[in-house]
Amino acid sequence: MHIYVYEDDKTLDLSPLSSNRATFDIRIGSETFLDRIKTLFPNHSISLFVREELEVVTKEKHSELKVNPKDIDEGMWLLGNVIWEKNDFMILPDKETLFYNNNNLIGAFLSKDSSDDWIKNKKSTPNIEKKSELESNYCPYLWDILSQIPKTLLYESEEFKKGIQPSTFEGVEFLNSDNIFIGDNVKIQPSVLMNAENGPIIIEADTTIYGQTYLEGPLYIGKSSLVKPLTQIKNSAFGPMCKLGGEIDTVIIQGYSNKVHEGHLGDSFVGEWVNLGSGTQNSNLKNNYSFVEVELNNKKIETNKIHIGTFIGDYTKTAIGTKLNSGSVIGLGSMIATYGFPSKLIDPFTWYINGEKRKVILDKFFNTTYHCMNRRNKRLLESEIDLLKKLYNKI
């Protein structure tokens, strides 16, 4: 069967992470949305449909898959920002069907003709009689992904084989060690406490965890990461090569970012190549305990949640002592160095200095990004450079 993973017309509601990547490339735990689909359908042909401005960069990142193909066959269409559940596909559909989650259209099984119509008019709902309500979780906003961390990591932990036995680490305290998965060449210093009573702890290969640190599951730490001494982390997921420190609770970091110094980060989503300066901290709760409102895509969203932190795009930097308000959205490529709280909405490529905003100088941005990535032996793809230039020129 052909699998078509697509974006809908609400992609920017997942900003700032979706500004420069397809929604299905956003991290949900140890995997991205797309990784989950690949795991569910290992023997099926998978094609991707993305916004026009992301086509080239998506082709370069996923060279093994077809992107925006012209020839469409009968197949299953899966919305990219859904955490798909294997129980929904124990029996694959044999006739045209629309898939829903809480009255939201999240996919379909369509004939070739219906698929062609779907591509030509993505905003319309195909005229299909059969409808199926699925358990898979639709995530229209980043905070919806955060709320699924316990369920996501519990599911993903089933894919991890037992690595190094906890007894290998002298002086390290493990609670519910059967729920702890440790990769090769992981270094854990004495006096670390790893508590997996509330969910699994997954530590990928080549990670180092310094002493007097408290780690509580559910928790995923990606490859080659570093956890500094006296760190407290729980209910979070971090991509590869992250440097972590301070107090972190209910956070996803896409990867390659630093939150290594003292300071609280909670109920937040952080992109790649972000550096949070020493003492940077965020609020995730209003003093009156009311629901937090977030401004996204030129509209104000009522989250219906009292715990909402900060959403930070790729390549963003904060100076020492930065304070971020609950519900803040910081666009990619920004720099914040200011007294008090900065604005809750900061556009991409903004220098926010002492309460004043100005546009980042593009050459300096690329120079800083080069040095930042070079420290981890990484480089921007040519397609990424072109995309960032186009996004910069839109502002």
Q: What digits encode the pLDDT tens for the residues 313-326?
A: 999 999 999 999 99
Considering the domain 2-140, what is its CATH architecture?
A: Alpha-Beta Complex (3.90)
pLDDT band at 69 (very low <50, low <70, confident <90, very high): very high
Q: Residue 93: pLDDT above 90?
A: no
Please tell me what DSSP assigns to residue 361: P
Alpha helices in the chain (DSSP H): 33-40, 55-61, 112-120, 142-147, 149-157, 362-374, 382-394
pLDDT at 130: 93
Positive or negative, the CA dihedral 262, 26, 376, 203 is: positive
Q: Residue 164: pLDDT above 80?
A: no
Mean pLDDT in residue range 200-208: 97
46 half-sphere exposure, CB direction, 13 A CA radius: 21
Q: Residue 127: pLDDT above 90?
A: no
**Helix and strand tally (H, E) in the chain?**
7, 34
* Closest of 184, 213, 216, 185 to residue 201, by C-alpha: 216
Q: Yes or no: say if 306 and 291 are a contact pair by the CB < 8 Å rule.
A: yes
pLDDT band at 185 (very low <50, low <70, confident <90, very high): very high
Which of the following CATH numbers is that of domain 155-394: 2.160.10.10, 3.40.50.300, 3.40.1160.10, 3.30.70.141?
2.160.10.10
pLDDT band at 329 (very low <50, low <70, confident <90, very high): very high
> Looking at per-residue confidence, does 160 or 322 come out higher?
322
Q: Residue 160: pLDDT above 90?
A: no
Q: Residue 336: pLDDT above 80?
A: yes
Average pLDDT of the chain?
96
pLDDT band at 122 (very low <50, low <70, confident <90, very high): low
Mean pLDDT in residue range 163-192: 91
| Region for residue 243 given its phi and psi (left: phi exceeds 0; alpha: psi -120 to 50; beta: otherwise) | beta
pLDDT at 83: 99
Query: Percent of the chain having pLDDT more than 70?
Result: 98
Q: Yes or no: say if 207 and 241 are a contact pair by the CB < 8 Å rule.
A: no
Backbone angles phi, psi at 20, to 5 degrees: -125, 15
pLDDT at 129: 87
pLDDT at 118: 82
- Rounded (5°) CA angle 357-360-362: 165
Positive or negative, the CA dihedral 76, 95, 128, 112 is: positive
- Rounded (5°) CA angle 155-221-291: 70
Q: Yes or no: say if 19 and 7 are a contact pair by the CB < 8 Å rule.
A: no
pLDDT band at 123 (very low <50, low <70, confident <90, very high): low
User: In terms of DSSP bridges, do strands 2-6 and 45-49 run parallel, antiparallel, or are they unpaired?
Assistant: parallel
| CATH 3.90.550.10 domain position(s) in the chain | 2-140
| CATH 2.160.10.10 domain position(s) in the chain | 155-394
pLDDT band at 334 (very low <50, low <70, confident <90, very high): very high
Q: Considering the entire predicted model, what is its pTM?
A: 0.97
> How many Cβ atoms are within 10 Å of 173's Cβ, its own excluded?
14
Q: Residue 163: pLDDT above 80?
A: no
pLDDT at 187: 97
Q: How far apart are CA 72 and CA 51, in angstroms?
A: 17
In a 3-state reduction of DSSP, which class is residue 120? Answer: helix
pLDDT at 213: 99
Q: Yes or no: say if 284 and 309 are a contact pair by the CB < 8 Å rule.
A: yes
Mean pLDDT in residue range 306-334: 98
CA distances to 205, 318, 341 from 91, rounded to whole Å, are: 36, 49, 52
In a 3-state reduction of DSSP, which class is residue 228? Answer: coil
Q: How far apart are CA 333 and CA 349, in angstroms?
A: 5
Q: How far apart are CA 344 and CA 310, in angstroms?
A: 9
In a 3-state reduction of DSSP, which class is residue 201? Answer: strand
Mean pLDDT in residue range 230-254: 99
CA distances to 151, 227, 269, 273, 344 from 248, rounded to whole Å, are: 19, 11, 11, 18, 20
CA distances to 66, 82, 286, 319, 373 from 274, rounded to whole Å, are: 30, 25, 25, 12, 10
